Structure 1
Amino acid sequence: MMGPVLAACLLIILSTAWISQANGATCKKDGGVCTCNDQTKNVDCSGKMLTAIPSNIPVETTELRLGFNSLSKLSPTVFHHLSKLTYLTLSTNQLQTLPAGVFDHLVNLDRLQLDYNQLKSLPPKIFDKLTKLTLLYLYENKLQSLPHGVFDKLTSLKELRLYNNQLKSVPEGAFDFLVKINLLQLHNNPWDCSCRDILYLSNWIREKKGTVSNIEAAECDGGTKAVLEITEEEAAEDCVYPNTTTAIPTTIITTLASSNDDDIPELPVPQENFQKFLGYQEPDHLPTQPQCLMSISGYLGLMMLFVLISAAILYVIHFLKKA
C-alpha cells in the first residue's frame, strides 16, 4: 500500500507548488517582464520596450519604475489600484499627453518623474491630489504653457524641474503656493520678456533669489538678459498664450472652429491586449534572456506541473482500483 501513499504525497506536493505558482503569477520568479522585490515592494519595469503598462502590478507596490520604455499613452485608470505608491517614474518614454485624473489615486506619492517625454501641455488639476509630493520632474519635454493653478495643491513640493521646455511665460500666481520649494529649474526655455505676462515670473524670481536655488538661471529668449532683470517698461506688450487667463481673440477662435478634423494627427495607441507576467527577483539582477523565451519558459513550467499532477492522479486511481 506504499504506492498509493507515495502517489498521494506527490499529488499534494505538486498541487501545493501549482497553487503557489498560480498565486504568484503577478510576480513570478521566471518568465516575467519586470523585476520585483516582495520585501521592499519595488517593481522595476525599466528598459523593457513596453508599449503598455502591465495590468497585474501588485497593489502593495510602493515604488514603480517604468522608465526607458515606449509608452506613448496612458489609460486614465492605469494607476488607480496603486494607492500605496510613493515613487513613480515614467522618464524617457514617448508620452504626448496625460489623461485627466490619471494620478488622482496616488495620494501617498512623494516623487514623480515625467522627464524626457513629448508632453506639450498638462491637463488642469492633474497634480491636485498629490498633496504629499516633494519632487516633480517635468524637464526635457515640449511644454508650451502651464494651466492656471496647476501647482497650487503642491504645498509640500521641494524640488520642481521645468528646464528644457518651450515655456514663454507662466500664469499669474503659478508658484505662489509652493511654500516649501527650495529648487526650481527654469533655464533653457524661450521666456518672452517683451510681454507683460513675464512680469509675474520676473518679480517672483527677484523676491525668492537666495532662498530658492537655480531660479536666477532663467533667461529671456535668445539669452540677451536674465528674466529677473526685466522691467515694466521692457515688458510692455499684451501678448496672448494658450492656457492663460488672457482672453483668446475672436479671430483665433473662428479659425479653430473652422479647422478640419482631418488635419488633427492621430496618436499611436498601445497594444490593448498586452499581458505579460511580472517576475520576483532581486532588483539588482535584471533578466538577460529575451522576453519571449522567458515567457515560454514560464508557460512550459506550468504545463509540466499539469502533466505531473495528472500522472499522479492516474497513479492513485490505479492503485485504489487494485486495492
Structure 2
Amino acid sequence: MMGPVLAACLLIILSTAWISQANEALCKKDGGVCSCNNNKNSVDCSYKKLTAIPSNIPVETTELRLKYNSLSKLSPTAFHGMKELTYLGLEGNRLQALSAGVFDQLVELDRLELGRNQLESLPPGVFDHLTKLTILGLDQNKLQSLPHGVFDKLTELKTLSLNVNQLRKVPEGIFDSLSSLSTLRLQSNPWDCSCRDILYLRDWIDDNKDKVTGAQDAACGDQQSKAVLDITEKDAASDCVSPNTTTAIPTSTTTPASVIYDDIHEIKVPQENFQKFLGYQEPDHLPTQPQCLMSISGYLGLMMSLMLTSAAILYVFHFLKKA
C-alpha cells in the first residue's frame, strides 16, 4: 500500500511546483527578466525595454516597477486583478495617452508615478477610484490641459507634481478638494497670464504659498517671465475662450545614458500571433528577445510539469487497480 501513497505525495509535490512556476515565471530565478522579492510582494521590471506588460504578474503584488521601458500605451485591463498594489511606477516610458478606467481596480494604491512620459491629456475621472493616493507624479510630460474635477476624489493626496508640462491654465476649483495637499509643483509651464482664467491659479498660490514649491518659479509663458503670483486683474484683462497651445517648452531633462534605448536594436518576433501565444496583454506590440526567452522557458517548464503530473496520475491508478 506504500506505492499509491508515495505516488499521491509525488503528485502533490509536482502540482505545487507547477503552480509556483506559473506564478513566478516572470522572475529572473525562473528565467524571466524581472526581479521579484516574494517577502515584500515586490516586482521590478525596470530598464528592460519592455513594449508590453507581462501578463503573469502575481495578483498579490503590492509594488510594481515598470519605469524606463518602451511602453507606449496601456490596455484598459492592464492592471485588473491587482487590487493589492500600493505602488505603481511607470515613469520614463513612452505613454502618449491613458485609457479610461485603466487604474479603477487599484483601490489600495498609495503612490502613482507617471512622470517622464509623453502624455498630452488625461481622460476625465482617470483617478476617481484612487481615493488612498498620497503621491501623484505627472511631471515632465506634454500636458496641455487638465479635465475639470480630475483631482476631486484625491482627498488624501499629499504631493502633486505638474512641473515641466505645457499647461497654460487650470480649470477653476481644480485644487479645492485637495485638503491633505502639502506639496504642489507647478514650475516650467507656459502659463498664460493674459487671460482671466489665470486668476484662480494666482489666488490659490497666494493662499497656499507654503504648499507650492518655488511659488515664484510658476512664471508666465510670455517674454516678461512674470510670476503668476504677481499678476494683476489689469494684466489678465482678456476673456480668452481657447488656450493657445502652440508654445512649447522642453519636456524632459538630461536622461542618463543607461536609460536611452533608441540606438539599441530590438529583435522583433515576426509572427503576428506569437505574442498572444506567449500570454502578453497588448497584442499590438511584439515581445523583445528577452521576453521571448522568458516565455519559452516558462512554457517548456510547464509542459514538463504536466508530463510528470500525468505520469504520476497513471502510476496512482495502476496501484489502485492492483489493490
Superposed displacement of residue 212, structure 1: 4.0
Which residue in 1 is equivalent to 2:180?
180
Match of 2:14 among 14, 18, 25: 18
RMSD, matched Cα: 3.2
Superposed displacement of residue 36, structure 1: 2.0
- Residues 66, 90 of structure 1: 8 Å contact kept: yes
Paired with 1:114 and 1:270, the residues of 2 have a C-alpha distance of 30
Superposed displacement of residue 311, structure 1: 7.6
Match of 1:273 among 276, 279, 285: 276
Q: Rg bigger for which structure?
A: 1
Paired with 1:298 and 1:80, the residues of 2 have a C-alpha distance of 22
The change in CA–CA distance for 1:310 and 1:106 in structure 2 (over 3 A counts) is closer
Paired with 1:131 and 1:316, the residues of 2 have a C-alpha distance of 52
Superposed displacement of residue 122, structure 1: 0.4
Deviations 1:72-125 (A, max 9, x none): 111112212111111111111111111111111111111000011110000111
Paired with 1:270 and 1:166, the residues of 2 have a C-alpha distance of 39
Per the normalisation by structure 1, the TM-score is 0.76
Which residue in 1 is equivalent to 2:265?
none
Which residue in 1 is equivalent to 2:68?
68
5+ residue gaps in structure 2?
Answer: 244-271, 281-288
SS of the equivalent of 2:276 reads coil
Amino acid of the structure 1 residue aligned with 2:230: E
- Residues 64, 85 of structure 1: 8 Å contact kept: yes
Amino acid of the structure 1 residue aligned with 2:112: L
Superposed displacement of residue 312, structure 1: 7.7
Deviations 1:235-269 (A, max 9, x none): 11122336xxxxxxxxxxxxxxxxxxxxxxxxxx9
Which residue in 1 is equivalent to 2:229?
228
Paired with 1:291 and 1:106, the residues of 2 have a C-alpha distance of 25
Amino acid of the structure 1 residue aligned with 2:101: G
The change in CA–CA distance for 1:316 and 1:44 in structure 2 (over 3 A counts) is same
- Residues 87, 111 of structure 1: 8 Å contact kept: yes
Amino acid of the structure 1 residue aligned with 2:16: S
Q: How many residues end up aligned between the 2 structures?
A: 281
The change in CA–CA distance for 1:192 and 1:317 in structure 2 (over 3 A counts) is closer
Deviations 1:121-150 (A, max 9, x none): 001111111111100000010000001111
5+ residue gaps in structure 1?
Answer: 243-268, 278-288
- Residues 141, 164 of structure 1: 8 Å contact kept: yes
Percent identity (aligned): 62
The change in CA–CA distance for 1:134 and 1:223 in structure 2 (over 3 A counts) is farther
Which residue in 1 is equivalent to 2:24?
27
Which residue in 2 is equivalent to 1:245?
none
Paired with 1:99 and 1:296, the residues of 2 have a C-alpha distance of 30
Moved more, 51-60 or 122-131: 51-60
Paired with 1:272 and 1:290, the residues of 2 have a C-alpha distance of 13
- Residues 278, 295 of structure 2: 8 Å contact kept: no
Which residue in 1 is equivalent to 2:164?
164
Paired with 2:214 and 2:279, the residues of 1 have a C-alpha distance of 43
**Is 1:43 equivalent to 2:80 in the alignment?**
no
The change in CA–CA distance for 1:65 and 1:139 in structure 2 (over 3 A counts) is same
- Residues 54, 274 of structure 1: 8 Å contact kept: no
Paired with 2:86 and 2:310, the residues of 1 have a C-alpha distance of 44
Residues 1-323 of structure 1 mapped to structure 2, 5 A cutoff: 9=6, 15-24=11-20, 25-28=22-25, 29-221=29-221, 222=223, 224-241=225-242, 273=276, 275=278, 290-302=290-302
- Residues 51, 271 of structure 1: 8 Å contact kept: no
Amino acid of the structure 2 residue aligned with 1:26: N
The change in CA–CA distance for 1:315 and 1:58 in structure 2 (over 3 A counts) is closer
Paired with 1:299 and 1:157, the residues of 2 have a C-alpha distance of 42
Paired with 1:60 and 1:317, the residues of 2 have a C-alpha distance of 36
Paired with 2:191 and 2:65, the residues of 1 have a C-alpha distance of 32
Superposed displacement of residue 175, structure 1: 0.8
Deviations 1:23-75 (A, max 9, x none): 12121441223222222111112122222212222221111111111111111
SS of the equivalent of 1:36 reads strand
Superposed displacement of residue 160, structure 1: 0.4
Paired with 1:112 and 1:48, the residues of 2 have a C-alpha distance of 20
SS of the equivalent of 1:184 reads strand
Where relative contact order (Cα < 8 A, 6+ residues apart) is larger, the structure is 1
Per the normalisation by structure 2, the TM-score is 0.76
The change in CA–CA distance for 1:300 and 1:241 in structure 2 (over 3 A counts) is same
The change in CA–CA distance for 1:162 and 1:127 in structure 2 (over 3 A counts) is same
SS of the equivalent of 1:26 reads helix
Paired with 1:49 and 1:200, the residues of 2 have a C-alpha distance of 42
